[in-house]
Amino acid sequence: AAELDVAAIKRDFPVLAERFRGRRLVYLDSAASAQHPLPVLRAQEHYYEHAHANVHRGVYALAERADQLYERARLTVGRFIGAPDPAREVVFTKNATEGLNLVAQAWGRRHLRPGDVVVVTELEHHANLVPWLMLAEERQLELRWLEIDEGFRLDLSRLTEVLRGARVLAISAMSNVLGTMPPVAELAEAAHRAGALVVVDGAQLVPHQPVDVGSLGADFLAFSGHKMCGPTGIGVLWGRAELLAATPPFLGGGGMIKDVRRDGFVPDDPPQRFEAGTPPIAEAVGLAAAIEYLQGIGLDRIAAHEHRLTAYALERLQQRFGRDLVIHGPREPEARGAVLSLAYRDVHPHDLAQVLDQAGVCVRAGHHCAKPLMRRLGVTATARASFYLYNDEDDVEALADALASAGSLFG
């Protein structure tokens, strides 16, 4: 596939033209939240200017317009991830976190019993960990862990043992700290053989490469709009139709019932059952526009671009800083996503991020909501640079130059 025209792509993102202290913006924090191209901004503006009304309850033409756009967005999302039945299987949530909580709190609370086993991994973001810890406490579940090895990959040597008798495998398809991409399809097959459902945290994977829920082997898949050039305030939970049908409501309120009486209620069918209250309508429209934008460029080309850029960055940074710079994560660029967790000499990650900011370079410092993983790495925080379709070699050079100036500043 042809390489991306990153200069042209950068022009699609108005914020990338902002200047800070006279310097161009070098945005290396897309793993936290991506920026927005014009078509996404326009789609939301267009919705508010021409189509806004509440969905589901309106009989007038304007409300029908809003309804159509909202339901069309659901289909766009469903097709994007290869959902067999998009109209029934795509639930709009607030973010990936809410989707994962929905699985644990609604499906899990109904179907898991004391002593049941949930398998999680050391790579998990708190979003795919705390909901299971909460349920484990409430339901006396047993949590089992898949750990990482010296190469920052999941250690699968005890897989059969760990999965034995498990009901759930909750796994991130890409670590937001290390970039590790576990072999989810292979693990899903093993989990299914053991009788476990597979809950995939796709927050980092779905924005960056083609994903098909069937070939991934997922039973549930959660992700966020804002990490894929879409708006904040919207996420997606995809679930197999029969699983969603067997899941009770998560939140109660308007829009999720068939009937309500003084002594009870009848929940609606999925996905409406899980969308209590006024949903994020403009955000759904924006998310659909983001998907169309990414598809217009091609997810396979975006993935190839990120792999090339990550390989370049790994090599360039090692070459320039040698042992002064530790990059946590797999060495092989093809086995990892475009996330570089950095430790530079003994400079505290927060100090490092602040110095990089002086050069207009945006990186995130902290525990990245992955405290068990931080403990395993033996650090309290890292400085994380992450790439997306609008980053290029110049951005890597800007990062390297800023690191070098941090080096001289801290002596």
Residues 111-170 binding ligand PMP (CB under 6 A) are 125, 127
- Residues contacting 146, CB < 8 A, separation 6+: 119, 120, 121, 122, 154, 155, 156, 159, 162, 171
From 77-85, 92-100, 101-109, 134-142, span contacting ligand PMP (CB under 6 A): 92-100
The minimum distance between CB 152 and ligand PMP, in angstroms, equals: 15
Among 121, 176, 247, 310, binds ligand PMP (CB under 6 A): 176
Could you tell me the smallest distance in angstroms from the CB atom of residue 386 to ligand PMP?
Answer: 10
**CA-to-CA distance for 75 and 89, rounded, in angstroms?**
10
Q: Which residues contact 111 (CB under 8 A, 6 or more apart)?
A: 167, 246
What is the Cα–Cα distance from 334 to 296, expressed in whole angstroms? 23
Give whichever of 373 and 399 is closer to ligand PMP, judged by the CB atom: 373
Cα 15 off chain centre by: 22
Minimum Å gap between C-beta 259 and ligand PMP is 32
Closer to ligand PMP at the Cβ: 233 or 298?
233
* Residue 260 β-bridge partners: 265
Residue closer to ligand PMP, measured from CB, 201 or 219: 201
> Residues 44, 172, 180, 341: which binds ligand PMP (CB under 6 A)?
172
Catalytically annotated residue among 369, 389, 398, 406? 369
Task: Give the pair of three-digit tokens for residue 9.
Answer: 């792509």
**203 is an interface residue for ligand PMP by CB under 6 A:** yes
Q: Which is nearer to ligand PMP, 88 or 364 (CB)?
A: 364
Identify whether 229 is a catalytic site residue: no
| Under rule CB under 6 A, residue 283 binds ligand PMP | no
Of residues 150, 155, 207, 149, the one with CA closest to residue 176? 207
Which position among 201, 275, 283, 395 is part of the footprint of ligand PMP (CB under 6 A)? Answer: 201
Q: Does 95 bind ligand PMP (CB under 6 A)?
A: yes
Residues in Cβ contact with 278 at an 8 Å cutoff, skipping those fewer than 6 apart: 54, 55, 254, 255
What are the two backbone dihedrals, phi and then psi, of residue 243, each rounded to the nearest 5 degrees?
A: -75, -45
Among 30, 35, 76, 97, binds ligand PMP (CB under 6 A): 97
Q: Which residues contact 341 (CB under 8 A, 6 or more apart)?
A: 177, 178, 179, 327, 328, 329, 368, 382, 383, 384
Query: Contact, 148 vs 330, CB < 8 A?
Result: no
Please report whether residue 224 would count as binding ligand PMP according to CB under 6 A.
Answer: yes
- Stretches 13-21, 106-114, 201-209, 277-285: which one binds ligand PMP (CB under 6 A)? 201-209
Site for ligand PMP in 368-397 (CB under 6 A): 369
Contact status: 96 vs ligand PMP (CB under 6 A):
yes
> What residues are paired with 344 via a beta bridge?
325
Tell me the per-residue interface mask from 31 to 50 with ligand PMP, x by CB under 6 A, - otherwise. Answer: -x------------------
How open is the CA angle 7-12-15, to the nearest 5 degrees? 100
Sign (positive or negative) of CA dihedral 34, 305, 154, 320: negative
Q: Which is nearer to ligand PMP, 202 or 267 (CB)?
A: 202
**Among 109-117, 198-206, 342-350, 373-381, the segment contacting ligand PMP (CB under 6 A):** 198-206
**Active-site annotation, residues:** 369
Interface residues toward ligand PMP, by CB under 6 A: 32, 95-97, 125, 127, 172, 176, 201, 203-204, 224, 369
